[in-house]
Amino acid sequence: MQATVWLASGCIHVKAMLHLLGNQMNASKPYHKEHLRQDLLDAGREYLKNHGHVTLSIRTLATQVGVSPGAPYHHFADRRALLFALAAEGFKDMMAGTNAVESGNMKPEVKLHRMGILFIRFAEQNTRLLDLMYESELTTPSLDPELLQFQMMGHEALRKQIVAAVPGLSAEEANLRVIVFWSTIYGFVTMRKKGVIHHGNENVPSTDIAEAIVSRAIVAAVAA
């Protein structure tokens, strides 16, 4: 009888200790849905960096962050929703830099230059994320309307600087100059990514060609 009581008491103590340890673990690593969503996005960014978006799957990310295959669906309805969230993060990162430039006390030509270089450097550091943002199932065969809003924000940021540098431009001319400027910058990024423009080619200047491209694009954008 005494042994039985002791064993029962021991079981109670063990259960109490396990319960206490569980509470301590939960306190040190709290679970919040917002945390899981961001963990998935962080894992997604890392996957994009190494592999691109084509083979990215929700199941793969679930495995990487250590949750069940169904857990991510509390935050992303499907794979497209996940891809959109990753692309939106990329646009928000770029717009944060653009907004910082806009708020600075600089001439509009300087702001245009910094915005152009900002995009080129972002493209250099996030090549595969840029593919998702501009050349993926989110943009082909039709551009996602919400991504279009991000692109229009970038267009407007450039337009403001061109109008400030060249007062009196018509709306049509200002928009045309934005398109010319953007086409130059994006075209350069695309050509360099595809290897059409690269150092070592005898036809490519040895100077910092990114700086040169942006500077010449600005000359056209703010010409009288």
Position with higher pLDDT, 199 vs 220: 220
Instruction: Report pLDDT for 197.
Output: 82
- pLDDT reading at 91 higher than 60: yes
The angle at the Cα of 187, spanning 167 to 164, to the nearest 5 degrees, equals 10
- pLDDT-based confidence at 133, cuts 50/70/90? very high
**pLDDT (tens digit per residue) in 3-34:** 444 344 444 454 544 454 444 444 434 444 56
Q: How far apart are CA 80 and CA 78, in angstroms?
A: 5
Residues 6+ apart with CB under 8 A from 87: 129, 132, 133, 136, 138, 147
The length of the chain is 224
pLDDT in tens, 28-83: 344 445 689 999 999 999 999 999 999 999 999 999 999 999 999 999 999 999 99
In this model, does residue 162 exceed pLDDT 50? yes
Per-residue pLDDT averaged across 159-176, rounded? Answer: 97
Give the per-residue pLDDT at 201. Answer: 62
Q: Annotate 108-170 with DSSP letters as a single string.
A: HHHHHHHHHHHHHHHHHH-HHHHHHHHSSTTTSSS--HHHHHHHHHHHHHHHHHHHHHSTT--
Instruction: Identify the pLDDT of residue 20.
Output: 47
Most confident of the ranges 1-5, 114-118, 194-198: 114-118
Percent of the chain with pLDDT over 90: 76
